Structure 1
Amino acid sequence: MKSHRKKMIAPIIITILIVAYYVVYFGLLIALIDGVGKYVLGIVPLLFAAIMVKVCIERIKEIREGEEDDLSKY
């Protein structure tokens, strides 16, 4: 069980970093753009962040089930 926790750290950290990048980058773009583009750029990072969190949750489930190396399937 303890080895599973160590293997879950990397996906969680990467997810946090990428979501933070989306928020900062698109936040700056939203601050610089006026009009309808501002709303479109507001939706895009939310979708990216939701997808990243979903992928991270799926990866954590795989690790807990014992599928640490999913490249071996291919």
Structure 2
Amino acid sequence: MAKKIVAPVVITVLLVVYFIFWLWLCVTMPGIPLALKIIGAVIPCALIGVSVFVLMERIKEVRSGEEDDLGKY
């Protein structure tokens, strides 16, 4: 079971690091208007939240035994 959770966790960690980089870049860049900085901060934060939510759902699926729903079709 642990092997099936490793890949989603690694991908989620990489995505979160990528989104944090873009968040930092948008907020610290000089010359950008405040409205664009706010939008540039909200979008990566939302994507981080969605990524973590999807990871939690995937972990629940693996623990409940629904490893591969595509095999049913």
TM-score range, shorter chain: 0.7 to 0.9
Partner-residue secondary structure (3-state), 1:63: helix
Q: After the TM superposition, which segments of 4 or more aligned residues of structure 1 sit over 3 Å from their partners?
A: none
Query: How does the TM-score come out when normalised to structure 2?
Result: 0.86
How many residues align? The count is 71
The amino acid across from 2:55 in the alignment is C
> C-alpha distance in 2, partners of 1:49/1:70?
25
Contact kept in structure 1, 2:26 and 2:41, CA below 8 Å: no
Query: How does the TM-score come out when normalised to structure 1?
Result: 0.85
Question: Unpaired segments of 5 or more residues in structure 1?
Answer: none
Question: Unpaired segments of 5 or more residues in structure 2?
Answer: none
Report the counterpart of residue 28 of structure 2 in structure 1.
31
CA RMSD of aligned residues (A): 1.2
> C-alpha distance in 2, partners of 1:50/1:73?
30
Q: Percent identity?
A: 41
Q: Once the 2 structures are TM-superposed, how far is the Cα of residue 36 of structure 1 from its aligned partner?
A: 1.1
CA deviation vs aligned residue, 1:24-51 (integer Å, no higher than 9, x gap): 0232122222321101111111100000
The amino acid across from 1:5 in the alignment is A
